[in-house]
Chain A
Amino acid sequence: MDSLVNQLKMNFPGRTYQIERLFSLFGYKNEPFVSSVFIYGPSSTGKSAVVGSLLDGLEIRNACVNLVECYSSKVLFESILNQLSGHKIDPFKGHPYAKCDNVMDFIFNLRKCADEVDLNKSVIVLDKAERLRNMDYNLLPAFLKLKELSGLSVSVIFISEIIFEKYYFKARTLEPIKIHFSQYTREELWEILRLDFDHVQNFIRNNFNENFDINEEFFSNYLNLFLSVFYRVCRDLSELRHMSKLNFVKYCEPVFKKECKLEDSMGLWRHIAPILKASLEVLYLRISPVSQEGKQQSVEIKCDGARTVKQFTFSKESLAQFLELPFYAKYLLIAAYLASYNPPKEDKRLFMKYHGKKTKRMKDVKAKNIVSEQLNTQLGPKPFGFERLVAIFYAILEEKVDFNSNLLVQISTLVELQLLSMVSDNCDLDSRKYKCCVSFEFIQIISKTVDFNITKYLVDFN
């Protein structure tokens, strides 16, 4: 028993408290289990992992269900029963252990199942439990007191990223035992990432050079540097693991190239620092390098090039540059942007060559010092009419183009691409309302490509 606990403690650094607590509740076969436990904490803090491996380690009959995939309570019930009863689905028939559409059937079948196999002291694990709140009103409370309802000693473990407070309105004043999985501290993260050492080493050996051996402490030095940059921005383990792996390869490159010694940590730091900074920008975006095997093929070279662009000089340009639009479509998009971020009354002043002298009135002065929160670019796009769009389009477009179907087609194309969105689609052909759905950076790049100075035409900027 204790051996198991120690084993777990080794596998999950920084989870001692949670492991012991869970063990004290479920560790002893002959003792009764509590009816329900609620486990909560941020993502990738080992909630499911700890619970799962504990239950498996204790050989407790359990059923783990991820509620995301339960688009109906039917699926939920049936998969629980399948797992508890150890029912193997025949892939050619796909019949579940039993059909149940509601809690009543479920409990009935659960009892039935209890006659066949010993369900005493079995556990149901409901992952992503927050989804229960959006399902039938009776599910959450029913599972909270499943033991009482079914009369079987079956306990339920809820795993969620949302604190229990947010469940009250559905929970009918039931209080389970709560265990909090706190976010890892920097030291713990360092500990955990170090566990990857062998894996990373193999990864490098397989993909770069076989006879490359690094010692543990080289790696952990790297991790220190890595965390010093990333920890502030992100504490999510899975993300950090991902990034650290990517950057470690870069970190080692000078060593491959025999530019640096393993010991020369200073040189390595000088080499890696900018890269880390750069890759901080792709954090969460998960643009991964092309797989190393692929690199060998010549065909890969193209998208490999694309990779380097995306991977390290990843900026707004590279986001927008892949979008190629027809010339007029670009102008239409710009016009749309102007239309949704300028108040219509300003149009005259902005787009007409000879708008009279703009007399400075008191309210203009007031308008000058509106706080940033009231800027149009902050409040989001306003809907605009079709005519206004076309009018602005012709105003900003130098040469005269005739107004034909292909232009209109462009508008609907933009809508299809979700660069515009149709706000009101009444069947009135002339009074459709649109909104522009692109960010300021995006439109800036677009207007750069047709060298058009957009800030000149935005009220917020003058």
Chain B
Amino acid sequence: MVGYKNYENTRLHIKNKIVNVDQYNGHTHERKQLLDILKRTTDSGESNSALLIGPPGVGKTTLVNSILKELQEDKKFNSSAVLVRLHGLIHTDDRLALKAITSRMNLDNAINGKVFGSFAENLSFLLACLQTGQRETSKSVLFILEEFDLFCSHHNQTLLYNLFDVSQSAQTPICVIGITHRLDVIELFEKRVKSRFSHRQIFLFSTHGDDIAIPSINQRIDRISNFLLLTNNNDFSSTYFAQWNKNIKQLMKDKKFICSMQRLLDISENEEITKNIMMLAVSKLNVEKPKISADDIEDELNIFEKDDLVQTVQDLSVLELCLLIAMKHHSEIYDLQPFNFEMILTRYNKFINANSNVQNVQRSVVLKAFEHIQNVELIAPTGTVMSRLQKEYQLFKLLITSQQITEAIKTMNGLPTEVIQWAGSSLA
């Protein structure tokens, strides 16, 4: 039964690694840059502001987390600095943000009862509260703003304005770090905000900043191997441990595996996806399946690559499919003009009358089928939906390409032949 335990542990071990990845490798240069900025604020009380920009899933947040972890390790950080983390998805307007800041600085009691004329006053008061005499001793504040671009959409960017403003003026030492995946985020700033921002941007790309020489595929692969390799061997039988790592190493060299990884990389650089796929592959481990093979990875990849739209089409009934084909024909004939139910119905009826062995159904039933197609959003109403107008005449546009439809029909089994032929024939 020890073997069973091993799989359990492996799963647990690797899953843990994937889910809460903390140690960060790569991007050493950017990391150092950011770290310095923060340190200067905490230690020598310089105010500052910077943006951390990089495509989604490249590990911006992870980077910042690891840095903060490092900072918090030394004792005097908590005494010298206050860390305020804001998130664009949580703090959807400045009022909330301010509330969060207040509570984070645990100044609630200080603030209660006071009424402030403006946002600025309020913020400055908060900061003032932190000031205790001279520059050195006063606490510095680190603002980490995730999903930074969302803050730009707040009502005339008051929060950003004030933060940057403070960071410019020599009041309380604060450091504002914005994290976003939008490269054009600067463009979102209002003029007054832009002028106050120290145009310090740190770009994070999935290729190594410092040496482009290493192609990113290897880098990706060694990150994966990082996930999959077992590190601490104390809760595995040593033989199993060695054996597992050995065949992971093999896997990493496996041609098939490498090219599938390349495929994935070509689709998207987002590391989350890789993680997900690994996750699924690992979750499959059990007594019957002791090890991960290149095929598993590839299967997962195939599943991931599947075109959902095609799947949706294949889930339709024959009737609904016929309607879809009718729409396809319609939009081929009148190049992508919108259509309404009546048109499709006549087209469909033509087909029905043409070949007798397809049983005919009530108009109302066809209408319901049509509605179902609309319901799974294969078609969408064009313009405004007038509730007054009868459904039959509401104009729709097709949200799926005819290629996808043909694709779906090809791989769909149990279709009556005449339907397939009809789908093939463009003139109908």
Q: Do A and B come from one complex?
A: yes
Q: Does B364 contact A (CB under 8 A)?
A: yes
Contact with B along A172-189 (1 / 0, CB 8 A): 111111101011011000
Question: In whole Å, how far is A40's beta carbon from the nearest beta carbon of chain B?
Answer: 7
**Chain A contact residues, CB within 8 Å of chain B:** 21, 24-25, 28, 30-35, 40-42, 102-104, 107, 136, 138, 141-142, 145, 148-149, 161-166, 172-178, 180, 182-183, 185-186, 229, 231-236, 277, 280-281, 283-285, 372-373, 377-381, 421, 423, 435, 437, 439, 441
Chain A nearest CB: distance from B331 CB in Å?
Answer: 12
Q: Do the beta carbons of B91 and A175 come within 8 Å of each other?
A: no
- Measured as residues with beta carbon below 8 angstroms from the partner, the interface class of chain B is 35 or more
- In the assembled complex, the CB of A162 is this many whole angstroms from the nearest CB of chain B, namely 6
> Among B272, B315, B319, which residue has the most Cβ atoms of chain A within 10 A?
B315
Q: Which residue of A31, A35, A141, A175 contacts B11 across the interface (Cβ within 8 Å)?
A: A31
* B340 and A163 within 8 A (CB): no
The reply to whether B388 and A235 form a contact with Cβ atoms under 8 Å apart is no
Determine which of B61, B309, B361, B393 lies in contact with A233 in the assembled complex, contact meaning CB atoms within 8 Å: B361
Q: Is the CB of A161 within 8 A of B318?
A: no
Bound CA span A33–B414, Å: 38
A166, A175, A178, A233: the one contacting B270 at CB < 8 Å is: A175
Contact present for B12 and A148 (CB under 8 Å): no
Contact check, B12 vs A235: say whether CB atoms are below 8 A apart. Answer: no
Contact B361 A281 (CB under 8 A): yes
Of all chain A residues, which has the CB nearest B368? A284
Complex contact A182–B311 (CB within 8 A):
yes
A364 to chain B, nearest CB (A): 23
Chain A contacts for B87, CB-based, 8 A: 149
- B331-366 interface bits toward A, Cβ cutoff 8 Å, 1 = contact, 0 = none: 000100001101100100000000000110111110
The 7 closest A-B pairs by CB, nearest first: A380-B393, A183-B315, A163-B308, A24-B283, A284-B368, A232-B318, A421-B388
The answer on a CB contact under 8 Å between A161 and B11 is: no
Known contacts A42-B376, A281-B361: A165-B272 contact under CB 8 Å: no
A186 to B279, CA, bound (A): 33
Task: Tell me the interface secondary structure of chain B in the complex.
Answer: helix
Given contacts A142-B89, A233-B365, contact A173 B270 (CB under 8 A): yes
The chain A residue with its CB closest to the CB of B304 is A178
Q: Besides the contacts A173-B57, A182-B314, what 16 more A-B pairs have beta carbons closer than 8 Å?
A: A25-B280, A103-B92, A149-B87, A163-B309, A172-B56, A180-B306, A180-B311, A235-B315, A235-B317, A236-B317, A373-B339, A378-B346, A379-B342, A421-B388, A435-B389, A437-B389
> B181 at the A/B interface (Cβ < 8 Å)?
yes
* Residues A232 and B359 in contact, CB atoms below 8 Å apart: yes
Chain B 193-233 interface mask (CB, 8 Å, partner A; 1/0): 00000000000000000000000000000000000000000
> Any chain A CB within 8 A of the CB of B78?
no
Residues on the B chain within 8 Å of A236, using CB: 317, 372
On whether the beta carbons of A32 and B16 are closer than 8 Å, the reply is: yes
CB < 8 Å: which of B342, B390, B416 contacts A378? Answer: B342
